[in-house]
A and B are shown apart, each in its own frame.
Chain A
């Protein structure tokens, strides 16, 4: 949209401390009244030198650090890292570990999408779906707590296995939760996704075209919201995802052009239902076994480098590990999905209003821990 700017352009800082920037993000806005001429993101307020720390800690010790990257979906962050190291070392895990990892990853995905949906409602102005989403997320966190002792940052996926086994009736209770939870998603749709005002605020805003999305390296629900059906779990399966029967949720442009904020948000909601499908199948197939069977005594990968990517809730999470044969990583680089999504933000948000800026930022679902590392 070509915008004519009348009057003076005011510089406003949607500063590091702001209720709706989902973390410490600074947006330097140049506004003309309510219209945003330019929105330049400044990151780095949460930079904790993750990559430098990893060079000084041994391989199993990196796992708690990876938790703290994207703290809303810690299970998936750990999973990506241990899969990369296992690929480098050539470790084969047994089936119990494999299915448990899938169940935990999908539960983590549901928990993360519930945060995304709830806080997006908060940004748009409705405070009720936030509480409903968090009420359901509490049950998932209870599952995590009884298994590994922590609600948010787990250190559960270890290289070659898992920290602890789950309780004997875990599968039954997970299925009960999923049975209770699937109708709650319909409730959420009634109050938020199909709400007329919500649609008016998001369905014509922040259009991200597919070519622009691919060029900016956007992946995950943000890319699928633009209509590109690409999911690492289907296209380059890991952990045996090829044997599960599930669909990829893709934005179809129900209420506006494809690639709007509403599409990206709705892809997450539809994905939650697909996660429920996967969890049911995984629980049904869960065999008995020992989860620490294949954990190596000493992790010393051979010399070389590896790149492994997994589907984190926010997109495609990639770990690039360079090993020089010692017990500590020589170089560990993380390609975080939110980092690439944020790089597309400036282009998508030209010429919109301030309220739309908040809507676009919320629809990208960023977590600053992952962007800044």
Chain B
């Protein structure tokens, strides 16, 4: 117990980093995902091709590689040198936006044409149709899939160790190597589990709140 209390502060510091990456990624990736999903349905062929290529690359290469590329690659190529944390969050947003875009695309396609027609004959502009009629229905449809990605994101955030960021996993690694003990890993596992369980309940609550209509 004494040992746990000793290492807990460093693990909680790591948890702060994990939550930072997680929160900022969600804030950036969900709206970007909606925008990309809309671009994928654009009448402009160029826009559709660009977004499709973007999604293919983002989903077709490992996130770990993308983090390395953005942090080291862009710097070596003299394009831009991002600080570690910014590089990690930027990469996570780009990567997760691609997955969210695919989820939202499916959501948009599930909305019946009649909903657009109904809004149009009442004089709704495209923007208002999206904001008040379509998006609320899309959000309900995509919620379970978004929930899956959110849980994945918590665990994926441990990949930031590759550019030396001190997240929860890295804090556990350091303590385990230093003290030759598996206890830090058990604690790290318990903390991740707490996070995902909390998020699962949160997502279920939101889904339930949206179940007032069919």
Q: Are A and B bound to each other?
A: no
